[in-house]
């Protein structure tokens, strides 16, 4: 018997394991379906594409996308200690301040910008030092890029030539602008939630960590969560929790486990011959993600990350943890408005010193660079549903990209902006022929067709166990699952709306705030 069982050792799960076991009288079991993160490709920043479609990746695929030429999109998700924080591009961006005020205004007390900022700061060791918006005493190291590519600086200069302001801190006073991104790295290596929060406490006697332990069901008695069943080495096991079970599986796995446990839309559960423990129609709904479109050019100078694996680059990284192998591949970004009347940015543009085609990341045989234009606040949403009642079967993922025409128009405008960006004086010394969409693609209809043929996820699914008090909410403002006691969800799935930024830093913040909510409930 444990006090707490945490399902998922990802971005939020590692935080909770750390914070809860700080009390020596509290026992925690942390279950992780994947294994160790001890592979060189995890720790070496530029090597993360080599992890895709390996055993360290859930390697999901969506259903056919009706508005993207019925393509099935590959969705990588980390399946190891650290979860997707061990697989991602390490970008540390929180979103706009007003994103969190919107959560509060939707009825989620305690989740406004002023409420969540202390948790962002608590998590952070900002190498630049502490400030109004940053902490320097937290476990998670946040650093500037160590060896930015010359194209990153040219991209920033090009944005300024388009009257876009330089922004050296996307997590400061204002998000809008162009600049280098900050990274979850420490001394040139990835700094995942496992490295930051879990590894320093593995010796605590009140923490048990089980890897290759795939949770299959939440055990419920009289509307109270009392335990979890999990499969490990082909055997089914059961663990019990005296206080709470906390799901930290992310936007795919958390709703999947709820559904498998009989918590979700009754009609869906009955159709799969699953018991209806709680009829909760919002489980798996409200799926939102950032869709990105690549605008790529040949590079006229051999300065890209194409030939990254040279002897000199390996030497630089081995001895100084610098050079191209320390790159996260997306070193500069811009948050911009495609229309001046907008209050906040509606697209993010990332500069990648490589040619990006459809996943997995595969460079062209020539030096190239890519703008990735991401739709920040899609109006389209989708769902996660079960394909069977077998816990080992992947769920159905239907993000329903571009179901709303307004989303497509923003992406068309974003592609046009990327092209104007490429035509600036700052990028002229590097700009070669346009590769994608291609110079023959000019009209809005042609650009729309190219988007439908090529747009892809930039890996930020959220929202499938949304927080709130409406009929489709899954958890309340203290992350407690409606209709069940002793059960919470704490990961990106609780986001009621998709933030204008990357999702790793917010997921870690959610873990920090969840830990305080859990501890507060014990006191009361």
Q: What are the structure tokens assigned to 268, written together? A: 């869906």
- If asked whether residues 31 and 83 sit together in one domain, one would say yes
Please tell me the total number of residues recorded for the chain in this structure: 524
Mean residue pLDDT of the chain comes to 96
Number of domains in the chain: 2
Q: What are the structure tokens assigned to 379, written together? A: 């109006």
- If asked whether residues 195 and 301 sit together in one domain, one would say no
Q: Is the dihedral of CA 82, 84, 86, 92 positive or negative?
A: negative
Q: Which of 290, 460, 477, 502 is flagged as catalytic? A: 460
In angstroms, the CA 45 to CA 135 distance is 23
Strand, coil or helix: 515: helix
Question: Which among 311, 265, 306 has a CA at the least distance from the CA of 286?
Answer: 265
- If asked whether residues 77 and 221 sit together in one domain, one would say yes
Q: Would strands 214-221 and 224-232 be described as parallel, antiparallel, or unpaired? A: antiparallel
Residue 414 in domain: yes
In angstroms, the CA 311 to CA 30 distance is 40
Q: What angle do CA 33, 56, 93 make, to 5 degrees?
A: 95
pLDDT tens column, 296-346: 999 999 999 988 888 899 999 999 999 999 999 999 999 999 999 999 999
Residue 315's CB is within 10 A of a number of other CB atoms, namely: 12
- If asked whether residues 365 and 263 sit together in one domain, one would say no
Residue 235's CB is within 10 A of a number of other CB atoms, namely: 7
Cβ atoms of 296 and 435 closer than 8 Å = yes
- If asked whether residues 334 and 419 sit together in one domain, one would say yes
Residue 512 in domain: yes
Mean pLDDT across 382-388: 98
Residue 139 in domain: no
Residue 114 in domain: no
Domain that holds residue 73: 1-99+191-287+383-392+462-524
DSSP state, residue 41: H
Q: What are the structure tokens assigned to 57, written together? A: 């990746």
pLDDT tens column, 140-180: 999 999 999 999 999 999 999 999 999 999 999 999 999 99
- If asked whether residues 82 and 51 sit together in one domain, one would say yes
Output the domain CATH number for residue 472: 3.50.50.60
Residue 244 in domain: yes
- Is 212 annotated as catalytic? no
Q: Choose the final residue of a domain: 415, 435, 454.
A: 454
Please report the pLDDT score of residue 309 as a whole number: 84
Q: Choose the final residue of a domain: 431, 454, 477.
A: 454
pLDDT tens column, 489-513: 999 999 999 999 999 999 999 999 9
The packing angle between helices 405-422 and 444-454, to 10°, is 100
Output the domain CATH number for residue 439: 3.30.410.40
pLDDT band at 92 (very low <50, low <70, confident <90, very high): very high
- Per-residue pLDDT at 393 exceeds 90: yes
In angstroms, the CA 342 to CA 110 distance is 27
The per-residue b/e assignment along 451-479, b for 16 or more CB within 10 angstroms, e otherwise, is bbebbbbbbbbbbbbbbbeeeebbbbbbb
- Per-residue pLDDT at 518 exceeds 80: yes
pTM, rounded to two decimals:
0.97
CA dist list (Å): 186 to 122, 144, 192, 347, 436? 17, 10, 10, 29, 35
Please report the pLDDT score of residue 307 as a whole number: 83
Residue 196 in domain: yes
Tokens 């992350």 correspond to 479
Residue 127 in domain: no
Q: Which range, of 170-179, 284-293, 364-373, 445-454, averages the lowest pLDDT?
A: 364-373
């Amino acid at each position: 018997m444990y006090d707490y069982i945490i399902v998922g050792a990802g971005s939020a799960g590692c935080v909770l394991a750390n914070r809860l076991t700080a009390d020596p009288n509290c026992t925690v079991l942390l279950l992780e379906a994947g294994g160790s993160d001890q592979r060189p490709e995890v720790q070496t920043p530029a090597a993360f594409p080599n992890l895709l479609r390996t055993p360290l990746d859930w390697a999901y695929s969506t259903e056919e996308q009706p508005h993207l030429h019925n393509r099935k999109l590959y969705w990588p998700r980390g399946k190891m200690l650290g979860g997707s924080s061990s697989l991602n591009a390490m970008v540390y961006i929180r979103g706009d301040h007003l994103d969190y005020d919107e959560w509060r205004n939707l009825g989620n007390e305690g989740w406004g910008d002023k409420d969540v900022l202390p948790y962002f700061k608590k998590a952070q060791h900002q190498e630049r030092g502490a400030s109004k918006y940053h902490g320097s005493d937290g476990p998670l190291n946040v650093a500037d890029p160590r060896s930015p590519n010359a194209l990153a600086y040219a991209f920033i200069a090009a944005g300024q030539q388009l009257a876009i302001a330089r922004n050296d801190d996307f997590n400061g006073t204002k998000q809008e602008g162009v600049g280098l991104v900050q990274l979850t790295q420490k001394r040139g290596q990835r700094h995942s939630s496992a490295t930051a929060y879990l590894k320093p406490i593995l010796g605590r006697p009140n923490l048990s960590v089980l890897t290759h332990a795939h949770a299959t069901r939440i055990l419920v008695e009289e509307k109270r969560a009392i335990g979890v069943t999990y499969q490990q080495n082909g055997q089914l096991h059961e663990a019990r929790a005296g206080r709470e079970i906390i799901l930290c599986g992310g936007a795919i796995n958390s709703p999947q486990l709820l559904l498998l446990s009989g918590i979700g839309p009754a009609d869906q559960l009955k159709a799969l011959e699953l018991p209806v423990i709680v009829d909760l129609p919002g489980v798996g709904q409200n799926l939102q993600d950032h869709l990105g479109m690549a605008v790529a050019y040949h590079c006229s100078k051999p300065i890209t990350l194409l030939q990254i694996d040279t002897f000199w680059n390996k030497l630089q990284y081995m001895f100084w943890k610098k050079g191209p192998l320390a790159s996260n591949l997306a070193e500069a970004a811009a948050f911009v408005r495609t229309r001046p009347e907008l209050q906040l940015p509606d697209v993010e543009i990332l500069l990648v010193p490589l040619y990006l085609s459809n996943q997995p990341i595969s460079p062209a045989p020539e030096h190239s660079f890519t703008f990735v234009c991401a739709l920040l606040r899609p109006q389209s949403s989708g769902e996660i549903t079960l394909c069977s009642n077998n816990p080992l079967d992947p769920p159905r993922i239907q993000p329903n990209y571009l179901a709303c025409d307004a989303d497509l128009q923003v992406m068309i405008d974003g592609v046009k902006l990327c092209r104007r960006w490429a035509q600036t004086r700052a990028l002229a010394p590097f700009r070669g022929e346009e590769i994608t969409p291609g110079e023959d693609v000019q009209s809005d209809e042609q650009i729309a067709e190219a988007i439908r043929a090529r747009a892809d996820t930039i890996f930020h699914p959220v929202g499938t166990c949304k927080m709130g008090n409406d009929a489709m909410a899954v958890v309340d403002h203290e992350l407690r699952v409606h209709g069940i006691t002793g059960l919470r969800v704490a990961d990106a799935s609780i986001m009621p709306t998709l933030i204008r930024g990357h999702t790793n830093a917010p997921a870690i913040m959610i873990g920090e705030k969840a830990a305080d909510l859990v501890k507060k409930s014990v006191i009361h």
